[in-house]
Amino acid sequence: MRIDFNGRVAIVTGAGGGLGRQHALALASRGAKVLVNDLGGDVHGVGGSVSAAQAVVDQIHAAGGQAMANGASVTDFEAVEKMVQQAMDAWGRVDILVNNAGILRDKSFAKMELDDFRLVMEVHVMGAVHCTKAVWPIMQAQNYGRVVMTTSSSGLYGNFGQANYGAAKMALAGLMQTLSIEGEKHDIRVNALAPTAATRMTEGLMPEQVLKALEPHAVVPAMLVMASQEAPNRTIICAGAGSFEAAQITLTQGIYLGDGVDTPEQLAQALAQLTDLKGALVPRSGSEQGALEVGKAMQAHGG
């Protein structure tokens, strides 16, 4: 059954180019009305112009779709609220939010300025928080919403020179985990996309042949699934070059050692057993970690 978005309204941030542009075009091509947001700055977040967003809107209009441009910075909550109101005034609802806006300020941690760390956190994390906070009551009231966070392998697994970016992207996975629980009763499903795509952010970092395989449009199917009516909830989908995987934050079965004087030494000797993935599980909430630990303690004491 074809995924379509007729009657749906989507907001895509950072949609003036790269992956965000592909997201906006794909949603529009399948019937969504799309608010195309882009500050219009460079990859480092410098500058600003609505022209990049407007060019995407013009392309959507030329194909017979409905769209409008917005140049708000996702770091400005008041501007984000006005952006959401713009969509509400025009179309009366917001069904889909794709938090895609982001910048890079790459340097090794030793050489990184704290201002560059803060700014990356502000754009990625608080940007997603601002946009999600602005649409959340609307989605609650209509008992429907689909939110896509953009995480990254740099956050999930680390990447040299990206301490700020990695911290921000892992924070978004954590935000997704809790919002997916809180939104469930209102049919607000929150998921995260970890894309591998050639954009302005990756120019000059990879050979040309690799860049061709990593065209941004190859990532879009994962976003469309997460934005659809039949979307999963609380899922991290990794996507790149036409391949798709799921990333899980797992918990090993671990071991019970008690809290004796020599427990630190026992733990140091048992790290291989501690990290053994046999029987690992994916907890459905943070309290499941505590339940596992208390259960092992009770069992050890014959409870």
Give the pTM.
0.94
Assess whether 165 carries a catalytic annotation.
yes
Domains of the chain: 9-247 (3.40.50.720), 263-300 (no CATH)
Could you say which of 144, 157, 165, 256 is catalytic? 165
Q: What is the 3-state secondary structure (H, E, C) of the chain?
A: CCCCCCCCEEEECCCCCHHHHHHHHHHHHCCCEEEEECCCCCCCCCCCCCHHHHHHHHHHHHCCCCEEEECCCCCCHHHHHHHHHHHHHHHCCCCEEEECCCCCCCECCCCCCHHHHHHHHHHHHHHHHHHHHHHHHHHHHHCCEEEEEECCHHHHCCCCCEHHHHHHHHHHHHHHHHHHHHHHHHCEEEEEEEEECCCCCCCCCCCHHHHHHCCHHHCHHHHHHHHCCCCCCCCEEEEECCEEEEECCCECCCCCCCCCCCHHHHHHHCHHHHCCCCCCECCCCCHHHHHHHHHHHHHHCCC
What is the pLDDT tens value at each position of the chain, 303 positions in all? 899 999 999 999 999 999 999 999 999 999 999 999 999 866 555 656 789 999 999 999 999 999 999 999 999 999 999 999 999 999 999 999 999 999 999 999 999 999 999 999 999 999 999 999 999 999 999 999 999 999 999 999 999 999 999 999 999 999 999 999 999 999 999 999 999 877 555 666 667 777 777 888 999 999 999 999 999 999 999 999 899 999 999 999 999 999 999 999 999 999 999 999 999 999 999 999 999 999 999 999 986
